[in-house]
Structure 1
Amino acid sequence: MPVLLCQAKAQFFRMLGHPVRIRVLELLLDGPKAVRDLLAEIDVEASNLSAQLAVLRRSGIVTATREGSTVVYVLAGADVAELLGVARRILTEVLAGQNELLVELRKEAVR
């Protein structure tokens, strides 16, 4: 795999690497949301949310439209929803594996 492609993929995953951005994407799974609605759901300052939305917008993963004085965000495509679902499944498997390890460690501690 070419180095440039690997770098682009790494940059993409870094873009996803912020809890506020992930939360925004999860909220947008339900459909378009105005900034005020996102603020009501996410416990961050407006300036922080604005900065995180700008990162998502620049990456092309969300789009924004202005409706009067309101800015509404939406996922750029269905692939984002699929990506979040895959991430959830992987995380579930990883955490299940860690739980199994914890059970084994506790069994050894009793011996």
Structure 2
Amino acid sequence: MNQPTPADFAGRAEILKALAHPTRLFLVDVLSRGELCVCELTARVGSDISTVSKHLSLLKTAGILQDRKEGLKVFYRLKCTCVLGFFKCVEGVVLNNAGARS
């Protein structure tokens, strides 16, 4: 196997940057249970449609989500479900850190 290049690490950093916001983490978590339209996601986030659309666009550009159009509605779903394994890893670190502090 080849050694990762600086470009490989830059690509990884872009994906992590896309996830590095509480609202985007929430959106991925919600979409882990199935496809939803932007209007439903906006209601769950409790923010305006413009802000939610920007978050969704960043996640789509990073390759984490994919969308489809049905009439005037846009639906999003997870494209890369392996990100959920990463979430479990992060949660493990959080729990480990909490245990170390107590």
Q: Structure 1 residue runs of 4+, over 4 Å off? A: none
Q: TM-score, normalised by structure 1?
A: 0.80
Whichever structure has more helix as a proportion of its residues is 1
Larger Cα Rg: Structure 1 or Structure 2?
Answer: 1
How do 1:15-54 residues align onto structure 2 when only pairs under 5 Å count? 15-54=18-57
- Looking at structure 2, the residues matched to 95 and 68 of structure 1 have their Cα atoms a distance apart, in angstroms, of 47
**Percent of aligned positions that are identical:** 22
Number of matched pairs: 99
Kindly provide the amino acid, as one letter, of the partner of residue 81 in structure 1: L
Shift of 1:15: 1.4
Q: 2:14 aligns with which of 11, 16, 26?
A: 11
- Looking at structure 1, the residues matched to 100 and 45 of structure 2 have their Cα atoms a distance apart, in angstroms, of 30
Shift of 1:96: 2.4
Kindly provide the amino acid, as one letter, of the partner of residue 5 in structure 2: P
> Structure 2: any 5+ residue segments left out of the alignment?
none
Q: Contact 2:24–2:55 at 8 Å: present in 1 too?
A: yes
Q: Residue 94 of structure 1 aligns with which residue?
A: 97
> Structure 1: any 5+ residue segments left out of the alignment?
101-111
- Looking at structure 1, the residues matched to 81 and 12 of structure 2 have their Cα atoms a distance apart, in angstroms, of 19
Shift of 1:77: 2.5
Q: Contact 2:14–2:62 at 8 Å: present in 1 too?
A: no
Kindly provide the amino acid, as one letter, of the partner of residue 85 in structure 2: E
RMSD (Å), alpha carbons: 1.4
